[in-house]
C-alpha cells in the first residue's frame, strides 16, 4: 500500500468511533482526513483549537477560502451553523471538558497510554500546539498513526521521546488494527471491535455482539449495562411486562419491554436484543431479558446503575405482590 492508501484506511476506521452529535477536535496529519469518511447519518461538530467550531471537510480545489485553514495550515471549510471564536474561548471549550473526542497523530505511544507527539530532540518539529490541553480535557483520546516509522515500531513498552502527557490515550488506530488501552495493558481488536489478542482477564463478555450493536443503532447510549440481578431475573420468567408500582419507577423507567429468551452469547440473542432496542423510543432505556437478566442504556455509568437499582426494586415489589395476591 502507498502512503495515501494507508492514511485513508486509518482515517476511515477512526471515523467509525465517532457518534452523532459528538464535538471532536482533530490534530494535524491523518486526523484531518477523518471528516471525509464519516458514516452516513453521523453528524459531528468539529472543533479546531485555532478558533473554528463547526469545521467542515476539505474544500474542493478552486473553492478554498484563504482565511479558513485547519490545524495543519491546510485549506478547510466551516459548516452551516459553525462559528469562529478567539483562541481563549476555543481553549475554554477544551479545558472545560466540552470536547467528546480528540484525534491526534503521534510519534510514540506505549502500553500505559503515555504519548509523545511533539518533539524529536535535535530535529525541527511543529511543536506541542494544543495537544497538552486536548489530552487532559477531551473525554476520549484517539491516536491515529502509521504502525511504524521507517521500519521502527511506534507502539512501545515505554516511550523514549519526551512525553506530551502520561496515561492519557484511550485507543490507538493504525493500518494494522485497533488497540484499546486499559489499565492492565493493550488489547488488540479487529476493525469491528472483536478482540484478537489480550490477556484472558481483559477479554470482553461473550455478549459483546449486542453491546457493540446497541452503540451503532442507539447513538445516545454512551454506556450499556448488562447484569443478572435476582428479582429482575425471576420476573423475566413470568412472560409478562413488569408492572411499575412506585411513582419513581413510573417516572424514570416509564416502560420496561421484555426481550425474548435466547442462548447466551449467540447470534440469535444478539438479534433479539437489537430488534427490541431498535423498535423502542429513545426514552426506553431499561429492558428485561427473559430468563437471563437486565439490559440498561444510559448517558453515564452512574445513570445505568441507578436505573438497574430501581428496576430491581420494582421487580422485587412485583414478585412479592404476586406471592401475596396470586
Radius of gyration of the chain (CA): 23
- For residue 282 the three cell numbers come to 429513545
Q: At what angle do helices 208-217 and 267-278 cross, to 10 degrees?
A: 20
Say whether 17 is catalytic: no
Answer yes or no: CATH 3.90.1150.10 is held by domain 208-324.
no
Q: Report, as an integer, the average pLDDT of 132-161.
A: 94
Residues facing 149 on adjacent strands: 152
CB-count exposure of residue 146 (10 Å: 0-12, 13-18, 19+)? middle
Answer yes or no: CATH 3.40.50.620 is held by domain 3-197.
no
Classify residue 212 by its DSSP letter.
H
Choice among 5, 17, 49, 175 that is catalytic: 49
pLDDT per residue as tens digits for the range 19-53: 999 999 988 889 989 988 988 888 899 898 778 89
Q: Which of 28-37, 45-54, 154-163, 193-202 has the lowest mean pLDDT?
A: 193-202
For residue 203, pLDDT over 70 is answered with no
CB 49 within 8 Å of CB 94: yes
CB 35 within 8 Å of CB 103: no
User: Cα angle vertex 75, ends 71, 76, to 5°?
Assistant: 70
- For residue 65 the three cell numbers come to 477560502
* Ordered strands of the 45-48 beta sheet: 77-84, 52-56, 45-48, 23-26, 101-104, 141-144, 171-174, 177-182, 185-189, 195-197
CB 285 within 8 Å of CB 298: yes
Question: pLDDT above 90 covers what percent of the chain?
Answer: 58
Element (H, E) at 45: strand 45-48
DSSP assignment of 56-119, as one string? ESPPPTT---TT-B-TTS-B-EEEEEEEE--HHHHHHHHHTT--SEEEE--SEEETTS-EE-S-
CB 237 within 8 Å of CB 273: no
Q: By three-state DSSP, how is residue 27 classified? A: coil
Average pLDDT of the residues of the chain: 89
Q: What residue ranges do the domains of the chain occupy?
A: 3-197, 208-324
pLDDT per residue as tens digits for the range 141-154: 999 999 999 889 99
pLDDT of residue 76: 83
- Whole-angstrom Cα distance, residue 259 to residue 296? 12
- Whole-angstrom Cα distance, residue 255 to residue 280? 10
pLDDT per residue as tens digits for the range 268-316: 999 999 999 999 999 999 999 999 999 999 988 899 999 999 999 999 9
For residue 91, pLDDT over 70 is answered with yes
Amino acid at each position: 500500500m502507498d502512503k495515501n492508501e494507508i492514511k485513508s484506511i486509518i482515517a476511515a476506521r477512526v471515523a467509525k468511533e465517532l457518534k452523532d452529535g459528538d464535538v471532536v477536535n482533530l490534530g494535524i496529519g491523518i486526523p484531518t482526513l477523518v471528516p471525509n469518511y464519516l458514516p452516513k447519518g453521523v453528524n459531528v461538530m468539529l472543533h479546531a483549537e485555532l478558533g473554528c467550531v463547526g469545521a467542515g471537510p476539505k474544500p474542493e480545489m478552486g473553492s478554498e477560502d484563504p482565511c479558513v485553514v485547519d490545524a495543519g495550515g491546510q485549506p478547510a471549510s466551516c459548516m452551516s451553523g459553525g462559528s469562529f471564536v478567539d483562541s481563549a474561548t476555543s481553549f475554554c471549550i477544551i479545558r472545560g471538558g466540552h470536547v467528546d473526542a480528540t484525534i491526534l497523530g503521534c510519534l510514540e505511544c506505549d502500553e500505559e497510554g503515555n504519548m509523545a507527539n511533539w518533539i524529536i530532540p535535535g530535529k525541527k518539529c511543529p511543536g506541542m500546539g494544543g495537544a497538552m490541553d486536548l489530552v487532559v480535557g477531551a473525554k476520549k483520546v484517539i491516536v491515529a498513526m502509521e504502525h511504524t516509522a521507517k521500519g521502527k515500531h511506534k507502539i512501545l513498552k515505554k516511550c523514549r521521546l519526551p512525553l506530551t502527557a502520561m496515561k492519557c490515550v484511550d485507543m490507538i488506530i493504525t493500518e494494522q488494527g485497533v488497540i484499546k488501552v486499559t489499565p492492565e495493558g493493550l488489547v488488540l481488536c479487529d476493525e469491528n471491535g472483536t478482540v484478537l489478542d489480550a490477556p484472558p482477564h481483559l477479554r470482553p463478555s461473550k455478549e459483546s455482539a449486542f453491546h457493540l450493536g446497541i452503540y451503532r443503532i442507539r447513538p445516545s447510549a454512551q454506556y450499556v449495562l448488562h447484569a443478572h440481578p435476582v428479582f429482575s431475573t425471576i420476573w423475566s420468567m413470568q412472560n409478562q411486562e413488569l408492572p411499575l408500582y412506585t411513582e419513581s419507577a413510573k417516572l424514570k423507567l416509564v416502560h420496561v419491554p421484555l426481550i425474548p429468551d435466547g442462548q447466551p452469547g449467540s447470534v440469535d440473542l444478539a438479534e433479539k436484543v437489537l430488534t427490541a432496542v431498535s423498535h423502542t423510543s429513545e426514552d426506553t432505556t431499561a429492558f428485561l431479558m427473559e430468563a437471563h437478566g437486565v439490559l440498561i442504556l444510559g448517558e453515564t455509568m452512574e445513570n445505568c446503575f441507578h436505573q438497574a437499582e430501581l428496576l430491581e426494586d420494582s421487580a422485587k415489589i412485583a414478585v412479592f405482590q404476586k406471592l401475596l395476591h396470586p
